[in-house]
């Protein structure tokens, strides 16, 4: 058997090893370009919406004025002192964001709680420093969150953290005429009016809210009549005058922390102070 060797030229080898690639059709190229554009667009959209999520939400302001009418309090009638009205907003159709816990102070000084009205969000803490030269015993056994701060001496402090919303009425076991109000609200949007009665609540996302009002010398039905749904636009909202009538309010003595009447002693109960 005879073996034959063939020497191939460079041209022959090029022809055997060359792989011919057919050009893609126009339709195929268009599909590839379309898929590429769609991928880039999706990526850019995701980045854009992620960036928007980092931006602060637009916030508006609620403004208003309250007045107290038919009051028997000389400070209200003579000085137009409209302090102590609590106003807060509850979002409608969505939960309120978790409020940031805050600290407030209610001093015991000159046999008086100062300030008389305090508002804190759920989880907030109220300090009760004793600035008088005698003992105090702050307590509450009404609606809201009951608590009892046993007798503590001058120059010391006790604190209470409030875990659920409600109106807490505060008294002193030693001095019957001492009283105060703590409003615990489940929202970050609230205010206690100053003496002028003018108020504003800031950093409110535009939307629908329910307006809540509390004043200790107003009957519940009068307050319920004033509460209403409101819509706060981007530009904010100024409410019409809120006129709160104290008609029908009759101050009544309250029992001590054991549910018993205070012993009479110069109107201040036991202790001789």
Q: Give Cα separations from 201 to 6, 31, 140, 186 (angstroms).
A: 98, 56, 28, 15
d(CA 247, CA 72): 9
Residue 70: phi and psi, rounded to 5, are 55, 40
d(CA 193, CA 33): 64
Torsion of CA 170, 172, 176, 179, to 10 degrees: -30
Q: What angle do CA 117, 119, 124 make, to 5 degrees?
A: 135
Is pTM beyond 0.85 here?
Answer: no
At residue 180, the pLDDT reads 97
Residues 163-179 as b/e (b if ≥16 CB within 10 A, e otherwise) read eebebbbbbbbbbbebb
- Per-position pLDDT tens, the chain of length 273: 443 434 344 454 444 444 454 555 555 555 545 555 556 556 665 655 455 444 455 799 999 999 999 999 998 999 999 999 999 999 999 999 988 989 999 999 999 999 999 999 999 999 999 999 999 999 998 766 899 999 999 999 999 999 999 999 999 999 999 999 999 999 999 999 999 999 999 999 999 999 999 999 999 999 999 999 999 999 999 999 999 999 999 988 899 999 999 987 644 444 445
At residue 52, the pLDDT reads 42
At residue 5, the pLDDT reads 38
d(CA 5, CA 206): 91
């Amino acid at each position: 058997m005879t073996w034959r060797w063939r020497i191939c030229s460079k041209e022959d080898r090029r022809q055997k090893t060359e792989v011919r690639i057919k050009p893609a059709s126009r339709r195929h190229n268009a599909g590839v370009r379309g898929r590429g554009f769609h991928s880039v667009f999706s990526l850019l959209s995701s980045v854009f919406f992620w960036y928007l999520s980092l931006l602060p939400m637009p916030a508006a302001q609620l403004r208003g004025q309250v007045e107290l009418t038919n009051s028997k309090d000389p400070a209200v009638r003579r000085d137009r002192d409209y302090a102590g009205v609590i106003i807060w907003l509850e979002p409608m159709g969505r939960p309120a964001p978790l409020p940031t816990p805050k600290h407030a102070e209610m001093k015991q000084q000159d046999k008086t709680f100062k300030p008389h009205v305090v508002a804190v969000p759920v989880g907030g803490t109220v300090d009760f420093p004793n600035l008088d030269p005698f003992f105090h015993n702050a307590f509450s056994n009404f609606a809201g969150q009951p608590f009892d701060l046993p007798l503590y001496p001058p120059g010391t402090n006790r604190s209470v953290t409030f875990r659920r919303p409600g109106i807490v009425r505060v008294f002193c076991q030693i001095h019957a005429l001492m009283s105060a109000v703590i409003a615990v609200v489940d929202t970050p949007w609230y205010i206690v009016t100053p003496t002028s009665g003018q108020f504003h609540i800031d950093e409110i996302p535009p939307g629908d809210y329910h307006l809540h009002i509390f004043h200790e010398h107003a009957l519940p039905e009068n307050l319920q009549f004033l509460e209403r749904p409101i819509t706060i636009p981007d530009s904010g909202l100024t409410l019409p005058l809120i006129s709160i009538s104290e008609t029908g309010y009759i101050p009544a003595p309250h029992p001590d922390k054991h549910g018993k009447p205070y012993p009479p002693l110069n109107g201040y109960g036991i202790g001789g102070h």
